[in-house]
Chain A
Amino acid sequence: MRAYVLPDARLARHAGQFVWLSIDTENPENAAFLARFPVDVWPTFLVIDPRQEKPLLKWLGSATAAQLDRLLQDTAGRGPARGGAGATLARADRANAEGRLEEAVAAYRQALAQGGLAWPRRGRAVESLVLAQAAAGRLEACAATARREAPRLTRGTSFANVAGSGLSCAISAPPEATWRSSALAALEPLVREALALPGLLADDRAGLYEGLTGARAAQGDEAGARLLAERWWSFLEGERRRAASPEARAALDSARVTAALALGDPARALPALETSERDLPRDYSPPARRAYVLRELGRLAEARTAVEQALAKAYGPRKLKIYLLAASIMERQRDRASLAATLDQAVAFAQSLPAPQRDEKVASALRAKLAAIE
């Protein structure tokens, strides 16, 4: 995002209208910021009112330059019609940014009703509504909004994200949910339509492939899921060949691992991970992902070496998850002494992290593993 979206000319015209801040959530120096503004999706974009030190907008996940341009216009008060629907949208954004999700959902609905079908912000508002419903755990409402709203949205990024998010909500629902099957059936064609659109971010497009593969699997269509996973993989390989930099190439490594697993062939991801590891020698993610894949392949000695390389490079909250991966490899190796030593280190590292940067679920899991072997 930082390399491709922020330099875009559409954002440059906002350069003198905002103060711009980049926060690495792994950096312990950012604990004070994260205590005020918790982040659990990457990337997350925030617009903050400095006088009240309160967020006006919180946008989860990547965004195109055009999307960010519209968001900045909205929050800077230069968007069309700041009264009526525009004002209600701003109120919804504030509630969403402060984690008052039910209030945000109600306000987004109100803004949509006020704005009507021709409202220029409708696509963005529907996108925010669906994401707020998903964040609130209201999966049925999320899928229902996407089913109802996506067909009448202009075909573009918001349409794709609404359809994709709705499908993810349906996939995440319990299989016994009575609404799930019809939601999957209604949303799948919309996501297929979205895949054909030009101008989507590569990671959004990868997410659409993942959703379609998951939808086929959720309906018991293993052959269909495999066919889609192969298309997903071909897309990812095409992006790898096209990538203009090592960072751009590595940006889809996570999707490569997920796609390779969906194909039942985790080894497919290894060449890309090895390339990323060579190109980005300071980055902990490629060896961590390689360790995960090697563990899945049962190549435990190699997985152990890779996870130790990842641990040596990791420095922030995500290091806890790498410790958890290391522990799982050592468990499979039945190396109890190394497991105990690693869990000791992991628990000490968790304690050393500032509270806003400590994932308590992962820290608890590490403590529980340590207690179990003592």
Chain B
Amino acid sequence: MRAAIAVALVALAAPAFAAGGVHIHEDDWERALAEAKARDQLLFVDAWAPW
């Protein structure tokens, strides 16, 4: 339950956008890390730069 609440709070607060069903956090390592720990899921990171 604690994990579920943590996930809900993180999901509400995190800046993110959705791409084809994939919910992506933007530039927020700490929040994404907290959510991954709470959900017990791996993190997928796309590191990019304007090109």
Contact = CB atoms under 8 A, between A and B. Distances in A.
Contacts of A349: none
Nearest to A44: B47
Contacts of A283: 50
B36 A50 contact: yes
Contact of A7 (B22, B36, B37, B51): B22
Contacts of B50: 24, 26, 283-285, 318
B51 A2 contact: no
A21 B51 contact: no
A22 B27 contact: yes
Contacts of B43: 18-21, 46-50
Contact of A37 (B27, B30, B45): B45
Contacts, number: 141
Interface in A1-35: 1-3, 6-9, 11-12, 14-15, 17-27, 29-30, 32-33
Interface residues of B, number: 29
Contact of B47 (A11, A18, A29, A39): A39
Nearest to B32: A21
B41 to A, nearest CB: 5
Interface in B10-45: 19-30, 32-33, 35-37, 39, 41-45
Nearest to A65: B20
B36 to A, nearest CB: 4
A15 B23 contact: yes
Interface residues of A, number: 50
Contacts of B30: 32
Contact of A21 (B19, B20, B45): B45
Interface in A301-325: 316, 318
A251 interface: yes
B51 A6 contact: no
Q: Which 3 A-B pairs have the closest CB atoms?
A: A7-B20, A50-B36, A12-B21
Interface of A: 1-3, 6-9, 11-12, 14-15, 17-27, 29-30, 32-33, 37, 39, 42-51, 53, 56, 72, 75-76, 251, 254, 283-285, 316, 318
Interface of B: 19-30, 32-33, 35-37, 39, 41-51
